[in-house]
Amino acid sequence: MTPENGTAPNDRNVEVASAPAAPMRWDGWGDPARAESLPFAVRSLLPLVVGRVRRPPAGPVLEDVHVEATALTPDDIAAFTALLGAQHVRTDAESRIRHAGGRSTPDLLRRRQTAQSAPDAVLQPAGHDEVAACLRIATERGLAVIPFGGGTSVVGALEPERGAHRGVVSLDLGRMSGLLQYDAVSAEAVLAAGTSGPEAERLLAGHGMELGHYPQSFRYATIGGFAAARSSGQNSAGYGRFDAMVTGIRVATPTGDLELGRAPGSAAGPDLIRLFLGSEGIFGVITEVRVRVHPVPAERLMESWSFPDFATGAAALRAVAQHGGGPTVIRLSDETETGVSLAQVGRIGRALAKGASAVTVFEGDDVAGRRARTAELLQGAGGTSLGEGAAEDWLRTRFDGPYLRDALLDAGVFCETLETATTWSRLPALREAVTAAIKDGFSEVGRKAFVMCHVSHVYPTGASLYFTVLAPLGSDPLTAWAGVKHRVGDAIMAAGGTISHHHAVGRDHAPWLSEEIGETGIRILAAVKRELDPHGVMNPGAVLGPATPAPVSTKA
Amino acid sequence: MTPENGTAPNDRNVEVASAPAAPMRWDGWGDPARAESLPFAVRSLLPLVVGRVRRPPAGPVLEDVHVEATALTPDDIAAFTALLGAQHVRTDAESRIRHAGGRSTPDLLRRRQTAQSAPDAVLQPAGHDEVAACLRIATERGLAVIPFGGGTSVVGALEPERGAHRGVVSLDLGRMSGLLQYDAVSAEAVLAAGTSGPEAERLLAGHGMELGHYPQSFRYATIGGFAAARSSGQNSAGYGRFDAMVTGIRVATPTGDLELGRAPGSAAGPDLIRLFLGSEGIFGVITEVRVRVHPVPAERLMESWSFPDFATGAAALRAVAQHGGGPTVIRLSDETETGVSLAQVGRIGRALAKGASAVTVFEGDDVAGRRARTAELLQGAGGTSLGEGAAEDWLRTRFDGPYLRDALLDAGVFCETLETATTWSRLPALREAVTAAIKDGFSEVGRKAFVMCHVSHVYPTGASLYFTVLAPLGSDPLTAWAGVKHRVGDAIMAAGGTISHHHAVGRDHAPWLSEEIGETGIRILAAVKRELDPHGVMNPGAVLGPATPAPVSTKA
């Protein structure tokens, strides 16, 4: 990113001091100090929704987990050490286990096993040039590379898969954190790819600005991960998907670098930034991201709504998306999710537990006007205003879902989420098809599933659907879930949905990508990968699935 | 595009009847009946701005233009005729001359020569399948293919360049016109790629909807051309660039087809639609485009503004772009353009001829509120409201610029436009650098240039700059302009601009693309082209420049 405009508070390749967050639990979500048991309200509800469950045996403590000895040779380690320093080439068991996958429910279930697969080493480059050098060394030596940001993938993008190579390293971008440039006039900031969500917001707040990107993984996920996975945050109605926030990127690939993004609008050929957004490390590593920022909102208004049913609520959200009421957040829970949410806050039995509830939040300029226009559209479409209460509840607890999942798993309840999107006209049928696929899949293995759904991202032409699934954990939850996911993927394709709206492809969704983009689409991605990564070291198996082995170097 | 949703008024491969527009002048812009001489106001102003000019000799009439005999063999013609029918394989001189280029000023100057280059034939497929078959035949026979929509390219994208091949055909999509699907719930329409701007709006108006994409080429340009060139229209502040309107595409390439776009938001790998937007026919042919549409606006408000100078006006537009006043159109003319515009409407000498003038237009929902919020921002930034007058003048004449250019050329005045974009912080220096490059370039060949500039597309992080150049035509205007364009391209790159905001790359801007996207970026585009078009028949020389000849078939 050219530095002539705006301030450049840090040299580009220098590690930026940042407030260290406590490392995430190795075998669950988030802050270890916050691990909690199941709230009473949830515990009392469980028998109604999934029947009786049995508490499973506890998983191993970290010290008891077995991983194989590293496949890296002393020569490999010496090459990386000469570049990064010994303290940034980790081969100890704990470092390797902490980089052994993401945070999907299958990931967490695998952490409950004693023998686990793990990358052969963890590399910690300090900046773009060190990343580029790591990729060259890995290519020369025939080692696969898995880029690692916050470790929050829920689609298997961080599996330590070596493909046809003799070893695999995790490339942890955690040292690459900081605000590298800030341009107040253009309202743009360049952030190092390893900067976490909270750290990015802390740094921008120093200039009175914010990014406003709040996916549920916000507290741990990184700027580079948001870009590589095409993330979408809870404020997407107001500030857009992460795709829309990105105005430039810097990328290191095994065979060359890129700096893209000279103007907010361009017709200088295809927009190559979009080829790296969603590439999940299969072409190279996004090292810096230029983003559009906006002033920290001075005002926030919110309002909750109730609709007689999901279909009425969805039509109301569509009216807002197509006529521009202007909410920052707009979400609609289906009848099932509405019932459980109200139960959780102790409101069972109130009349409003029926129907579908929605939340709207307004931040920034003209909040009162936007709330009024949105309210007029929602009311005109059959909604009833419930005031601020439920919206405040949602806002307060919006990052806490993953903690509840850990407590449910401990109690013997399988809990996972999945998501898709489609046009407004296909949305009702897609919701029914996915719900049925989940229930049928669990029913086939003799379990009752409880399925909740919400719409949390709206566009003029369509919307996302986000499902939360509860079921008894049973004896082999990994196999049971694999069967369910297979049915769901097929159901999404048949109903005209996308295989992912914001979780990305990783390895879990790769089997459906050829149906989504066609064989010619797959050929395009494979051709780009061959050009940039001719030996196939970058994240093998992600996005494109297990490929024909590329020629690999035999140097060891 | 899957047909299960929305109405499908026409079979996909059937020619759709459409109101035929009068064919464009072969040697100038637009409706031959509207060709006009120079208005008195302009004629009286010319000596002041470019000095004395001499009327050049008139160009040839169509019948006197010489083109070489077609390079196609009887076998080639028989193969295309078997597919399309004899009436849709044109080798007559008039058809070939009418497809011999676009509508840049150099294109028009070349039409004033007696000997002209032209494609060897014009093919007129009726739909996607015929396009795909044409590409296969051309590949087998070693013939280059130039996709042709409205013929309005101003960057040399339609040059009849054969590259390493023995012949070149123009693939005219004019028969592929129509609304193929309409989904009222999702507010989406599928249009055949050859549908012209006015025809698309006529068809959508039948459903009460519009696309709202109004580039200056609107009356002749096509939906496929808007997509292939990443067009941006005058209403971009309200409805976005054409990029943003596209929700799906169907593409034929020499080696396979694509249908892309299952959902308005997706994280299913990189967004491949964006690889075809801006591809200008080098990978294949966009045959169908799915677009977001909106209700025909019931209301329109407008307001004109005056600022003390361009810098103040640009800062005011920035405030509107960053704080969301919500105009549908917002434009700012610099002091020079403001002075001439006022002169043209006979207002010389009024106090307001000084400074920089702006136009705002509001259409759709909440127009009064949006005008009030925009006015507050513009006034707060130093603007003075001038009421509706000048905005109405602009709206009435906004598609007429190209007619004036023909009259100027006839009178001996060179007239051309060019454009770029960058961030707000770089905008003032970019405007100065481009203006200086134009003036210096003409000065070097002893001519005085008059340069006007306006901002017509704004984003939160930056804006476009659009320049209009007048100069004496002189004895060799093509060589003189080539020298100026070379200086301008270099100046844009040095000042951090993009080589094109909405005219695209074509052949004219190809020399600067490697500086814009880097050598690695060029390698990516070349790899995709090799994969989809292994013999390099698609629009050779466009975007990527003259390439190393690809292996070509020798069958004849």
B312–chain A nearest CA distance, Å: 13
Q: Tell me how far apart the alpha carbons of residues B231 and B236 are, in angstroms, rounded to a whole number.
A: 10
Lowest mean pLDDT of A17-26, A153-162, A266-275, B93-102, name the range: A17-26
Residue type, A56: P
Identify from A272, A274, A419 which residue to disrupt to test chain B contact, counting B C-beta atoms within 10 A and taking the largest count: A272
Chain A with chain B: Cβ pairs closer than 8 A: 304
Q: For B388-405, what is the mean pLDDT?
A: 83
Q: For A356-375, what is the mean pLDDT?
A: 95
pLDDT band per the 50, 70, 90 thresholds, residue A34: confident
Q: For B549-553, what is the mean pLDDT?
A: 47
Lowest mean pLDDT of A38-42, B384-388, B545-549, name the range: B545-549
Residue B496 Ramachandran class (φ > 0 left, ψ -120 to 50 alpha, else beta): left
pLDDT score of A249: 98
Residue partners of A372: CB distance under 8 A and separation at least 6: none
Question: Residues of B annotated as binding site for FAD?
Answer: 147-153, 280-286
Q: For A399-413, what is the mean pLDDT?
A: 91
Q: Give the CA distances from residue B297 to residues B212, B391, B399, B544, in Å, rounded to whole numbers and listed in that order.
A: 9, 18, 20, 40
The CATH architecture that domain B401-508 belongs to is 2-Layer Sandwich (3.30)
Let me know if A466 is a catalytic residue: yes
pLDDT score of A21: 58
Residue partners of B17: CB distance under 8 A and separation at least 6: none
pLDDT band per the 50, 70, 90 thresholds, residue A9: very low
pLDDT band per the 50, 70, 90 thresholds, residue B394: confident
Strand partners, B179: B191
- Of B279, B324, B496, nearest to A365 by CB-CB distance is B324
pLDDT tens-place string over residues B158-214:
999 999 999 999 999 999 999 999 999 999 999 999 999 999 999 999 999 999 999
pLDDT at A44 > cutoff 90: no
In chain B, what percentage of residues exceed pLDDT 70? 92
Instruction: Give CATH for domain A179-295.
Output: 3.30.465.10
The DSSP 8-state label assigned to residue B425 in this structure reads G
Question: Residues of B annotated as binding site for substrate?
Answer: 405
Q: For A171-196, what is the mean pLDDT?
A: 98
The CATH 3.30.465.10 domain(s) of chain A lie at: 179-295
Q: For B494-515, what is the mean pLDDT?
A: 98
Q: Tell me how far apart the alpha carbons of residues A178 and A191 are, in angstroms, rounded to a whole number.
A: 6
pLDDT band per the 50, 70, 90 thresholds, residue A351: very low
Record: contact A464-B256, CB cut-off 8 A: no
pLDDT at B20 > cutoff 70: no
Pick the CATH number of B300-397 from 3.30.70.270, 3.30.465.10, 3.30.70.3450, 2.60.210.10: 3.30.70.3450
Lowest mean pLDDT of A22-26, B21-25, B58-62, B238-242, name the range: B21-25
Residues of chain A found within 8 Å of residue B321, distances taken between Cβ atoms: none
The CATH 3.30.465.10 domain(s) of chain B lie at: 69-296
pLDDT score of B347: 46
pLDDT score of A342: 61
pLDDT band per the 50, 70, 90 thresholds, residue A554: very low
pLDDT score of B350: 46
Q: Does the domain made of A401-510 have the CATH classification 3.30.300.330?
A: yes
pLDDT score of B344: 56
Which residue in the block uniquely carries the two structure tokens 């999907």? A104
Q: For A376-392, what is the mean pLDDT?
A: 91
Q: Does the annotation flag A150 for ligand binding?
A: yes
Q: Which of B466 and B340 is assigned the larger pLDDT?
A: B466
pLDDT score of A362: 97
pLDDT at A281 > cutoff 90: yes
CB atoms within 10 A of CB A381: 18
A537–chain B nearest CA distance, Å: 18
pLDDT at A377 > cutoff 80: yes
Q: Which of B19 and A113 is assigned the larger pLDDT?
A: A113
The CATH 3.30.300.330 domain(s) of chain A lie at: 401-510
Q: Tell me how far apart the alpha carbons of residues B63 and B182 are, in angstroms, rounded to a whole number.
A: 44
Q: What are phi and psi of B406, to 5 degrees?
A: -60, -45
The CATH 3.30.70.3450 domain(s) of chain B lie at: 300-397
Tokens of A275: 């080829």
Q: For B492-507, what is the mean pLDDT?
A: 98
- Of B266, B423, B525, nearest to A5 by CB-CB distance is B423
Residue type, B104: S
Which residue in B358, B322, B326, B345 sits closest to B463, CA to CA? B322
Collapsed DSSP state (helix, strand, coil) of residue B492: helix
Residue type, B5: N
Q: For A294-304, what is the mean pLDDT?
A: 95
Record: contact A423-B264, CB cut-off 8 A: yes
- Of A267, A268, A520, nearest to B256 by CB-CB distance is A520
Residue partners of B81: CB distance under 8 A and separation at least 6: B89
Q: For A3-26, what is the mean pLDDT?
A: 47
Closest residue of chain A to B420, computed from CA coordinates:
A266
pLDDT score of A15: 30
Fold observed for domain B69-296: 3.30.465
pLDDT score of B342: 61
Strand partners, A278: none
pLDDT score of A344: 56
Q: What are phi and psi of A511, to 5 degrees?
A: -60, -20
pLDDT band per the 50, 70, 90 thresholds, residue B548: low
Record: contact A266-B501, CB cut-off 8 A: yes
pLDDT tens-place string over residues A312-349:
999 999 999 999 889 999 999 999 999 887 655 544 44
Strand partners, A168: A144
The DSSP 8-state label assigned to residue A88 in this structure reads G
pLDDT score of A488: 98
Record: contact B425-A186, CB cut-off 8 A: yes
Give me the sheet containing B167-172, strands edge to edge.
B89-90, B121-123, B167-172, B143-148
- Of A263, A276, A509, nearest to B501 by CB-CB distance is A263
pLDDT at B513 > cutoff 60: yes
Record: contact A258-B517, CB cut-off 8 A: yes
Record: contact A186-B502, CB cut-off 8 A: no
CB-CB contact of A343 with A41 (8 Å): yes
Residue partners of B260: CB distance under 8 A and separation at least 6: A517, A518, A521, B248, B249, B250, B251, B272, B273, B276
